[in-house]
Amino acid sequence: MSFEQDAPLNLRPFNENLLYASVDADRLMASRPEYIAGIISELLDLMTEKRLGIVPVTLFSASRVEEAFRLMARAKHIGKVCVAIRDSELQLRVNPPRRIRPDATYLVTGGLSGFGLETAKWLVDEGARHLALVSRRGADAPGARDAIRYLEARGATVRAFAADVGHRVDIATVLDDIAATMPPLGGIIHSATVLDDRSLAEQDRASLDRVLGPKAQGAWNLHSLTADLDFFVLYSSISSLFGTRGQANYVAANCVLNSLATLRRRQGLAASVIQWGVLGETGIVARDVNTAKYLEQMGLSAMSIDDALMGLRDVIYGDLESLTVVEADWSRFAASLVPMAGDRRITLLTNAAGSGAPGAGAEVIEAFKGLSEEGRRDHIQALLAKIVTSVMQMEEPSFALSQPLHEVGMDSIMGLEIAAGLERAIGLRLNALDLAVGPSIEQLAQTILDRLTNAAPEERAA
């Protein structure tokens, strides 16, 4: 609140029996010095006699600073929220440049087929010149030699390793070979996946090992056998957020990846996890028409490789801890889930997706006709503030509109909720990546304003 700016004061908080009083202390001292001297003397006496109460303090260790900001963002605290800098678990680091370097080696597990191979191609396009691609059969895998020749033709030196990333000795041997014969390891992308779908009652030790070995144990092996890197990206799945029928082993493996990324971040190590939706141009969906139809019936639409790689780029260059990349009809997806799967967030997404008004974008544009540029921006900012506070369970925004949303606790699922709420309100569909870097409400309002006034009709939601 600034008196100099003559800013208005929202009155809704005062429904909670609050009192707001303004005291201009410097002017009071000039106009009534004896009165102020008496108050200060009385205050000093109270302090000497230790009769003043202590302001409540909620203390967080420095390694839990994110929790402190989340508490403040939700305005649930009383008194002061403090962060103790002295913390034995805190490790400070200077972030290296988040870019692909030609003088480093990049390791991709599952990198000789499917989306792992597409990832390797993307790395080369981004400037990588040394790749270590790991799969169970190495260069003898179907199509592997053609893939290697393709990458080499684009200027990369490629080593193909036959190893089981889930076996510690295997991957340790690969890492030793890289250290001895290739430039220093700069980054890892863990793409290895094995599926063995069966009902929960049919799961046994063998089916668990078959799936958790390459994905979960493999991720842990890579974590424990390497030092800090420019990036350490884990390919998880949306199944880890909501669960999928017949894939308990796969869901568990992906949950391990999500937790490992959090663990590494707390240890001061590079780590990012991407929960992928359906990738349609490669992998099992591209090979199996029935699987593609089944997923479509569930409400999960296939993404293009280019769209998916945009998400990977944002994760690596933006140093994001977690990103969910999915194209979904949330109403159909919710209906396909078994009872109690997922959590309340799927309900929010479903409600938002199911209640959008046709032509809402046109209605907003019509309303804009009587507003100035500043009025339009204020209108959008107010709408966004309402959506964001609802998603983040706040009654009123407790942060500045210029503050990046990721600083006040927005995660990737909240980004999806905000995008869905915006589509419901004005009919404009934002890509989840627009929210992935945590723009402020002011920045997001400008993006929306530009699209509403200048975008082609097909960019607006039907």
The pLDDT value given to residue 116:
92
| Most confident region among 95-104, 308-317, 376-385, 400-409 by mean pLDDT | 308-317
Lowest mean pLDDT among 73-82, 97-106, 150-159, 207-216: 73-82
The pLDDT value given to residue 166:
92
Domains 105-336 and 344-459 are alike in CATH topology: no
The pLDDT value given to residue 4:
59
Q: How far apart are CA 329 and CA 416, in angstroms?
A: 12
Q: Is the pLDDT of residue 90 over 50?
A: yes
Lowest mean pLDDT among 134-138, 213-217, 343-347: 343-347
Lowest mean pLDDT among 37-51, 97-111, 373-387, 448-462: 448-462
Task: Tell the CATH superfamily of the 344-459 domain.
Answer: ACP-like (1.10.1200.10)
- The fraction of the chain above a pLDDT of 90, given in percent, is 27
Reported as a single tens digit per residue, the pLDDT across 347-376 is 555 554 544 444 445 555 555 655 677 877
Is the model more confident about 400 or about 223?
A: 223
Q: How far apart are CA 232 and CA 155, in angstroms?
A: 23
* CA distances, 314 to each of 126, 273, 324, 378, 439 (Å): 13, 12, 11, 29, 13
- Fold exhibited by the domain 105-336: Rossmann fold (3.40.50)
Give the contacts of 94 (CB within 8 A, at least 6 positions apart): none
Is the model more confident about 105 or about 382?
A: 105
User: What are the structure tokens assigned to 235, written together?
Assistant: 């390919």
Q: How far apart are CA 150 and CA 160, in angstroms?
A: 13
Is the model more confident about 461 or about 155?
A: 155
Reported as a single tens digit per residue, the pLDDT across 388-435 is 888 777 777 778 888 888 777 777 667 777 887 787 777 677 765 666
Q: Three-state SS for 196?
A: coil
User: What are the structure tokens assigned to 117, written together?
Assistant: 């191979």
Reported as a single tens digit per residue, the pLDDT across 271-300 is 999 988 888 777 666 665 666 666 776 777
* For helices 441-454 and 373-391, angle between their N-to-C axes, nearest 10 degrees: 120
Lowest mean pLDDT among 11-20, 211-220, 326-335, 452-461: 452-461
User: Which secondary structure element, helix H or strand E, spans residue 303, and what is its range?
Assistant: strand 300-303
The pLDDT value given to residue 402:
85
Q: How far apart are CA 270 and CA 353, in angstroms?
A: 35
| Phi, psi at 162, each rounded to 5° | -90, 105
| Phi, psi at 87, each rounded to 5° | -150, 120
| Most confident region among 72-76, 101-105, 234-238 by mean pLDDT | 101-105
Lowest mean pLDDT among 47-56, 130-139, 168-177: 47-56
Lowest mean pLDDT among 90-104, 119-133, 434-448: 90-104
Q: Is the pLDDT of residue 112 over 80?
A: yes
Give the contacts of 147 (CB within 8 A, at least 6 positions apart): 112, 113, 117, 120
The pLDDT value given to residue 167:
93
Mean pLDDT of the chain: 80
Q: In the chain, what are the domain boundaries?
A: 105-336, 344-459
Q: What are residue 274's DSSP bridge partners?
A: 235, 323
Q: Is the pLDDT of residue 204 over 60?
A: yes
The pLDDT value given to residue 457:
42
Q: Is the pLDDT of residue 235 over 60?
A: yes
Q: How far apart are CA 107 and CA 231, in angstroms?
A: 11
Q: Is the pLDDT of residue 264 over 70?
A: yes
For residues 67-96, give the mean pLDDT.
Answer: 73
Lowest mean pLDDT among 122-131, 302-311, 341-350: 341-350
The pLDDT value given to residue 161:
95
Q: Residue 436's closest CA among 450, 447, 451? A: 447
For residues 142-163, give the mean pLDDT.
Answer: 93
Q: How far apart are CA 351 and CA 345, in angstroms?
A: 10
For residues 372-388, give the mean pLDDT.
Answer: 83
pLDDT bin (cut points 50, 70, 90) of residue 439 is confident
The pLDDT value given to residue 341:
53
For residues 36-62, give the mean pLDDT.
Answer: 85
For residues 25-53, give the mean pLDDT.
Answer: 85
